[in-house]
Each structure stands twice: as C-alpha cells, then as structure tokens.
C-alpha cells in the first residue's frame, strides 16, 4: 500500500514539476509549484514526518504561493519566450543530476536500522528522553531541549530574514517621511 502511494505521489510530483517548467504562463507555474508542495507534504505524511508535512503545507503551498502571486502582480504574468536555446544550462543540469543519482548509490537503504544516522546519537535520545525530558513527542524534546542551541540559531535566522525583508522592501514608511521633510 505504501509503495503504491509513493509511486503515485512521486509520479505526480515529476509531472507537476515538468508542467511548472514547460508552462509559459507564470500564474499557472506558481499554481503548479503549490501543487508540488502539497504532494511533497503528502509524501512526508507517508514517511511519518507529520511535523515536516505541516510546515511544507503551510509554507510551501500556502504562504510562499501567496508571496509568488504578489510578486507576479508587480511584474508580469507571462514568461518571455527564449530567443535562442543554449545547450550549456541543460548540460549543467544533466551532469548535476547524474552526480546526485550516483551519490545515492552510497546511501544506506531507506529504513535500514544499521544506517549511520540510527547509530550515532539517536539511541541515546530514544533511551533517555522519556526519563530525562518526560514528554511523549521525542521530536520536540530533541528540537527544544537536546538541540536547544540549534533551534535558538534557527529562530535567529528567521528573525534575521524578517529584518532583511523589512529593510529591503518595507522602506515605504521612511520614504514617506523623507518626502514630508522636503
């Protein structure tokens, strides 16, 4: 059952991604990217990573689609047809893809209990988290307590992103103030 779901989801993801590239109407492309995010959220649910699925559905399909449409409202709806086809970008993409596929040959099989990721710190968290932290959701205890420094760093990154956007795009209030002074 899971294999069938995975095959269907991944096939749809490939089709939607190709459609997003082929379509010349940028509005339709943005919608395709939204559908792609919903499909990958479904994949995360199949993989039992519900936290990631939440994030993907809310950010990927929701907010970033709205931001993209907002950007389209400022620019243009249709992509310009390329004047000439160049081979170099295609080669770069193909070679990068081939290298990535080659790299997966070294990766452990999905769900392999002897994979390095399951043998490093994971056993300690799984064994000690119920006694040390005492909350049922181990993801939260790793994120907020064992890896509290990392999460503080992530929050600071989001803070910095917000400040950066505010400085670059949100300057209209200062501009108004300057106009009033002149």
Partner 1 sequence: MRNQMIPRVIAKFFIPMILLFGLYVQFHGDFGPGGGFQAGVIFAAAFVLYALIYGLDEAKKVARPAVVEALVALGVLIYAGTGVVSLLKGGKYLDYNVLAHDPIHGQHLGILIVELGVGVTVAAVMITIFFAFAGRGQSE
Asked if 144 is part of the footprint of partner 1 (rule: CB under 8 A), the reply reads yes
C-alpha distances out from residue 13 to 8, 32, 123, 124, Å = 9, 10, 34, 36
- Give the per-residue contact string, 113-132, with partner 1 (x = CB under 8 A; - = no): -------------------x
Using the rule CB under 8 A, which residue among 18, 90, 170, 174 binds partner 1?
170
Q: Assess 67 for contact with partner 1 (CB under 8 A).
A: yes
Beta strands in 18-162 (DSSP E): none
Q: Is 111 in the site for partner 1 (CB under 8 A)?
A: no
DSSP H stretches of helix in 86-121: 87-104, 116-119
Q: 19, 21, 58, 16: which is closest to 35 by C-alpha? A: 16
**Segment near partner 1 (CB under 8 A); pick from 68-76, 83-91, 106-114, 119-127:** 68-76
Binding map of partner 1 across residues 3-42, x = CB under 8 A, - = no contact: ----------------------------------------
Run of H or E residues at 138: helix 138-141
Shortest CB 52 distance to partner 1, Å:
9
CA-based Rg of the chain, rounded to a whole angstrom?
Answer: 22
d(C-alpha 177, C-alpha 119), whole Å: 59
Is 71 a binding residue for partner 1 by CB under 8 A? The answer is yes
CA angle 104, 17, 12 (to 5 degrees): 85
Chain contacts with partner 1 (rule: CB under 8 A): 50-51, 54-55, 58-59, 62-63, 66-67, 70-71, 73-74, 132-137, 139-141, 143-145, 148-149, 151-152, 154-156, 158-159, 161-163, 165-166, 168-170, 172, 175-176
């Amino acid at each position: 059952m899971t294999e069938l779901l995975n095959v269907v989801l991944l096939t749809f993801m490939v089709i939607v991604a190709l459609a997003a590239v082929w379509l010349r109407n940028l509005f339709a492309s943005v919608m395709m990217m939204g559908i792609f995010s919903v499909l990958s959220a479904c994949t995360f649910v199949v993989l039992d990573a519900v936290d990631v699925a939440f994030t993907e559905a809310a950010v990927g399909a929701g907010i970033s689609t709205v931001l993209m449409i907002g950007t389209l409202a400022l620019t243009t709806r249709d992509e310009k047809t390329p004047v000439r086809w160049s081979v170099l970008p295609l080669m770069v993409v193909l070679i990068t893809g081939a290298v990535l596929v080659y790299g997966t040959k070294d990766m452990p099989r999905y769900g392999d209990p002897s994979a390095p990721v399951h043998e490093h710190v994971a056993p300690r968290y799984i064994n000690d988290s119920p006694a040390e932290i005492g909350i049922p959701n181990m993801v939260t205890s790793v994120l907020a307590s064992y890896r509290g420094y990392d999460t503080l760093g992530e929050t600071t990154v989001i803070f910095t992103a917000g400040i950066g956007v505010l400085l670059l795009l949100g300057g209209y209030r200062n501009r108004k103030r300057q106009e009033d002074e002149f």
